[in-house]
Structure 1
Amino acid sequence: MIELDGAAGEGGGQILRSALTLAMITGQPFRIRNIRANRTKPGLMRQHLVAVEAALQVCGGEAAGAALGSQDLTFVPGPVKGGDYAFAIGTAGSCTLVLQAVLPVLLKADKPSTLRLAGGTHNPMAPPVQFLQRAWCPRLAEMGAHIDIRLERFGFYPAGGGVVEARVEPCTELRPRTWMGRGERRAAYAEAFVAGVPERVALRELECVGQALHWHEDQLLVRSLPANQGPGNALMLTLEYDHATEVFTAFGEKSFSSERVAHQAVQRTRQYLESRAAFAEYLADQMMLPLALAGGGGFTLDEVSMHARTNAQVIETFLPVCFAFDRQDGIDSCTVAGR
């Protein structure tokens, strides 16, 4: 039984999600105490509980402590089974975080799988579905994994109600890869999504982005959604390069001006542009586990966060790999190798 401290390092939900993924893949049971100890509301929230429930269905395992608010959980995995699965988070809890816990596991299944989730698809505490579609899945495809994600309905915080479906083909072995540079830029554009929110909000956000980044009108796109999918507003900046795609998102709220939303998205985008790294912080975090499963690889990144260092520690607990973070010529890098 692997023992984990949920208060270690960053102390958030990523410790639990990575542990669930790795337990199912390796067959190693674990116990985690102090779940999400560093959060305002510690313990399992709805999206974390659904991740546990999804894991139990996918591998037929057993769990003790799987309840809302629980800070201790014991998880014993069984054999991974491919097939069709459907889960409802029931709130605006993140569908994408649940997907990230289960999708790598279904690559190891005996047959193709479909995973359908209802809940939040666009909320401030998680990557949006487009991040998985544009940034994460293409990098996994370069490693030999084939995952197709389709967004059927937006689900904004706090109402939720979104629907996303993922199809996964079995992958016998992931290939090691390195991404040390992003290559030439192919495209850059901003999208302002609005549902049940005046279009002028989207136009003002895009105007601010255009002024800040010197982007032209054809790079600034209003995406009007049906009013019944809102109210909600998300400003999304996408940068496509030869070897990487990044998606930076900021969300509108009642007390936020359009200028403030645009500033958040632009600030994060500028940090990435100035870094010369292949990956930004969140994509770097999400590529660590696939590379560890492949047995090696690496990338440059614009920021080595406590989140990344904590994730590395969890992965090293389950797999015979070692992560190394380094900085040369002003660029941070992360490499993983067998031990």
Structure 2
Amino acid sequence: MIELDGSLGEGGGQMLRTSLTLSAITGRPFRMKNIRARRAKPGLQRQHLMAVQALAAVCGAEVTPVDVGVGELEFRPGAIRAGDYAFDIGTAGSTTLVVQALMPALLHADGPSSVRVTGGTHNPTAPPAHYLDRAFGRVLRQMGATFEMELERFGFYPRGGGELVLNIVPCRRLQPIELLQRGPRIHAYAEAFVAGLAPTVGRRELDILCTEFHLGDTNCRQCGLPADQGPGNTVLLTFEHAYVTEIFSAIGERGVTAETVARRVAEEASRYQASEGAAGAHLAGQLLVPFALAGGGTFSMSHLSQHTLTNAEVIQQFLPVKVHFTRGAHRTVCAVET
């Protein structure tokens, strides 16, 4: 039984999701106390509870009784089973974080699987659905994974109701890769999605990003959504490089101007551009699990976060790998070794 303290390091939900994923894959049970202890609302929230329930369903795990607010659990996995799964978070909790926890596990299933998760697809504190396919998904495909992802319906806070669908086939073993350089930028574009709000909201966001990054009209895309998927708004900036894709995003908020929302995206993208890392800080933290499952590989990142350091510590509890970070002036290099 692996014993984990959820208050260590970054102290958020990623510790739990990584533990669930790797427990299912390795068959090693774990107990975690102080779940999300460093968050304003500690313990399990709806999206974390759904991650527990989803991984338990996929691998037939035995789990101690859990509910919203619970701060400790024990998880004893069984064999990972392929199937057609559907999970409803019941709130605007992040569908992307649930799907991201399921993806590595289902790569180890005994056949193809499909998963439909209902909830929030674009949340202030989680990667948007587009990120999962374009950024994280691109690297996973380079490592040998085969899957398709479809955003069937947007879900904004607080209503939720979005639907993200994953179809995935098993992969005997992910292949180690080296991702040290971005390569030349091939394409850049901005998208503003608006549902149940004035179309001018998206236009104002795009004006900021298109001017800041010299994108041109054809690369500034305003996307109107059905009103029943809102009210809500998100703006995305995608950089496609030769070897990696990065996405920067922000969510519209009541009382916050469209220009302020767009400038948040611009500031994050500018920090990435000023660095020499292949992956941005958020993507770097998510790449650790597939690189560890591949048994090796190296990648560079724009910034080494506490989130990434904590995730590395958890991974090393489950897998026979060592994760090393070498900080440089303009990037940090991560090396995973067996």
Give runs of ≥4 in structure 1 deviating > 4 Å: none
Cα distance in 1 for partners of 2:99, 2:204 equals 33
Instruction: After TM superposition, give the deviation of residue 66 of structure 1 in Å.
Output: 1.6
Q: Which residue of 2 aligns with 1:229?
A: 229
Cα distance in 2 for partners of 1:311, 1:328 equals 20
Instruction: After TM superposition, give the deviation of residue 329 of structure 1 in Å.
Output: 4.8
Q: Which residue of 2 aligns with 1:162?
A: 162
Q: TM-score, normalised by structure 2?
A: 0.99
Q: Which residue of 1 aligns with 2:210?
A: 210
Q: Which residue of 1 aligns with 2:72?
A: 72
State yes or no: 1:305 paired with 2:314. Answer: no
Instruction: After TM superposition, give the deviation of residue 216 of structure 1 in Å.
Output: 1.5
Cα distance in 1 for partners of 2:87, 2:329 equals 46
Instruction: After TM superposition, give the deviation of residue 149 of structure 1 in Å.
Output: 0.7
Cα distance in 2 for partners of 1:65, 1:313 equals 26
Assess if the C-alpha contact under 8 Å between 1:65 and 1:72 holds in 2.
no
Cα distance in 1 for partners of 2:43, 2:114 equals 29
Q: Secondary structure at the match of 2:304?
A: coil
Q: Secondary structure at the match of 1:23?
A: helix
Q: Secondary structure at the match of 2:271?
A: helix
Q: Secondary structure at the match of 2:269?
A: helix
State yes or no: 1:18 paired with 2:18. Answer: yes
Structure 2 residue runs without a partner (length 5+): none
Q: Which residue of 2 aligns with 1:34?
A: 34
- The letter of the residue matching 2:73 is L
State yes or no: 1:43 paired with 2:43. Answer: yes
Q: TM-score, normalised by structure 1?
A: 0.98
Q: Which residue of 1 aligns with 2:239?
A: 239
For the aligned residue pairs, the C-alpha RMSD in angstroms reads: 0.8
- The letter of the residue matching 2:122 is H
Cα distance in 2 for partners of 1:210, 1:117 equals 33
Q: Which residue of 1 aligns with 2:110?
A: 110
- The letter of the residue matching 2:54 is A
Cα distance in 2 for partners of 1:98, 1:294 equals 21
Q: Secondary structure at the match of 1:85?
A: strand
Cα distance in 2 for partners of 1:318, 1:26 equals 7
Instruction: After TM superposition, give the deviation of residue 328 of structure 1 in Å.
Output: 3.1
Q: Secondary structure at the match of 1:168?
A: strand
Cα distance in 2 for partners of 1:183, 1:78 equals 42
- The letter of the residue matching 2:88 is A
Cα distance in 2 for partners of 1:171, 1:210 equals 40
Q: Which residue of 1 aligns with 2:295?
A: 295
Tell me how many residue pairs correspond in the alignment.
Answer: 338
Structure 1 residue runs without a partner (length 5+): none
Taking only the aligned residue pairs, the percentage that are identical comes to: 50
- The letter of the residue matching 2:294 is A
